[in-house]
Amino acid sequence: MRIIVQKFGGTSVANEEVRKLVVRKVEKVREQGYSPVVVVSAMGRKGENYATDTLIGLARSANKNIAARELDHIMYCGEMISAVIMASTLQASGMDAVMLTGGQAGIITDDQFNRARILKIDPKRISSLVKAGKIPVVCGFQGVTADGEFTTLGRGGSDTTAAALGAALMAEMIEIYTDVDGIMTADPRMVTNAQILDCISYGEVCQLAHQGAKVIHPRAVEIAMQKNIPLMVKSTFSDEPGTLITNISEGDHGGTIVTDRIATGVTCLNNIAQLRIDVYPEESCTASFEVFKLMADNHISVDLINVHPGQIMFTVSGEVVERAAAELQRHGYQAAVTYDCAKVSVVGGGMREVPGVMANFVEALAVKHIPILQTVDSHTSISALVKKEDVQAAVTALHEKFGLAG
């Protein structure tokens, strides 16, 4: 059996017209001799009848603090509707499709409602369906605990479903169909001259996704990478070849020499707050231990960490900053908070040990008079914290400076 997992995002299953395009994508891999396993997200985006956000809105209208378990049940409905409609559409086109919930597809998770982790996959049922020539249509984003409780995998979790099924079924390829022609050098909604990348490494796309690029869930990339299964990001709406994600790091791949590319993409993460705590220099060590322990005990993740004699600086999500500051105050630490920041990042596997990358980064922002509040870098990325009002200009300037503009 040569399996290809094909995941279709919300816009790809939103109405009858686009579902016909999905039928064509499924037919195409069958004609090539593959057995498709289809994964679908809930239909449409915010505001549309059966979209996840609409269902959440309905639930919150009954109780704005709806329990996580109940919320998972209402969110489940979105993918159920979508999978039934997609399986029925395939059946109407003469294909033997069978819809399955995440649980029926064998996806077992832990019991963290709204953000469950997949513990294992039992692919027996899907395998036997595929062997019998049927096309499983699996609800993305869903799991079930060993006790039978319904769970969801967090926003963007259908990508994770596709990757996990691909890994469990030893698929030859995982295709992620969406509303853009592939992974681009920046979010095309922010940067109009962003370009499609022919290929990108698992590591680079993981970094882009962790640093805010919403095009694919980082967990999906990690799972595919562990099993070395190629991922393709493509559009449902075109026949463009899309972006290939593999572990390539050198050599010629369809005209793009990956290591020659210093920067691969620019991205940003919004709604970040910066906290600064001044301490006596001789107390820096104990104080930073206490501060970070306090954040850990309160399940607050920290980023952009700088500790100097006399000063501790870090960022947290804007959603938890009030809680973080209050906790610190309760323990005698007065934090100066800068609200409404964003982290802009340039990612590129080829920037390792290349001199002058930081100078270019800083220059791009300096010529646009964009103040940098903090920076952090790794072998393959440079990030800066900027004010929210500068984020659009910063992303555009960096995209231009690093030669990514089309």
H-state helical runs in 176-283: 202-210, 218-226
CA–CA gap between residue 181 and residue 102 (Å, rounded) = 27
- The answer to whether residue 278 forms part of the interface with ligand ADP (CB under 6 A) is no
Sign, CA dihedral 274-278-279-281, equals: positive
CA–CA gap between residue 367 and residue 43 (Å, rounded) = 44
Per-residue contact string for residues 190-229; x = within reach of ligand ADP by CB under 6 A = -----------------------xxx--------------
Q: Is 93 helix (H, G, I), strand (E, B) or coil?
A: coil
Binding at 157: pick from Mg ion, ligand ADP, none (beta carbon under 5-8 Å per type): none
Residue 177 CB-half CA count within 13 A: 28
CB of 13 to ligand ADP, least distance (A): 9
CB of 176 to ligand ADP, least distance (A): 7
**Binding region for Mg ion (CB under 5 A) out of 73-81, 120-128, 148-156, 280-288:** 148-156
# binding residues, ligand ADP (CB under 6 A): 18
Residue 223's alpha-carbon distances to 45, 58, 218, 231, 235, in angstroms, are 26, 33, 9, 10, 22
Among 79, 175, 187, 327, which residue interacts with ligand ADP (rule: CB under 6 A)? 187
Between 156 and 242, whose beta carbon lies closer to Mg ion?
156
- β-partners of residue 385 are 343, 374
Residue 172 CB-half CA count within 13 A: 10
- β-partners of residue 314 are 275
Binding at 231: pick from ligand ADP, Mg ion, none (beta carbon under 5-8 Å per type): none
CB of 79 to ligand ADP, least distance (A): 12
Interior angle at CA 174, CA 41 and CA 104, nearest 5: 50
Q: Name the residue whose CB lies closest to ligand ADP.
A: 9
Among 36, 140, 156, 212, which residue interacts with Mg ion (rule: CB under 5 A)? 156
- The answer to whether residue 78 forms part of the interface with Mg ion (CB under 5 A) is no
CB of 400 to ligand ADP, least distance (A): 16
Neighbour tally for 349: CB within 10 Å: 22
CB of 213 to ligand ADP, least distance (A): 4
Among 164, 184, 200, 373, which residue interacts with ligand ADP (rule: CB under 6 A)? 184
Among 178, 235, 246, 374, which residue interacts with ligand ADP (rule: CB under 6 A)? 178
- The answer to whether residue 179 forms part of the interface with ligand ADP (CB under 6 A) is yes
Between 184 and 370, whose beta carbon lies closer to ligand ADP?
184
CB of 364 to ligand ADP, least distance (A): 18
CB of 99 to ligand ADP, least distance (A): 19
**Binding region for Mg ion (CB under 5 A) out of 31-39, 46-54, 156-164, 265-273:** 156-164
Contact 294, 329 (CB under 8 A): no
- The answer to whether residue 47 forms part of the interface with ligand ADP (CB under 6 A) is no
Residue 146 is encoded by which pair of tokens? 């060993």
Among 36, 103, 265, 350, which residue interacts with ligand ADP (rule: CB under 6 A)? 265
CA–CA gap between residue 18 and residue 235 (Å, rounded) = 11
CB of 402 to ligand ADP, least distance (A): 14
Instruction: Identify residues 318-337 at the interface with ligand ADP (CB under 6 A).
Output: none
Residue 193's alpha-carbon distances to 190, 359, 383, 405, in angstroms, are 9, 24, 21, 5
CA–CA gap between residue 84 and residue 104 (Å, rounded) = 14
Task: Tell me the three-class secondary structure of 36-49, residue by residue.
Answer: EEEEECCCCCCCCC
Report the interface residues with ligand ADP, using CB under 6 A: 9-11, 41, 156, 178-180, 183-184, 186-189, 213-215, 265
Residues in the site for Mg ion, rule: CB under 5 A?
Answer: 156
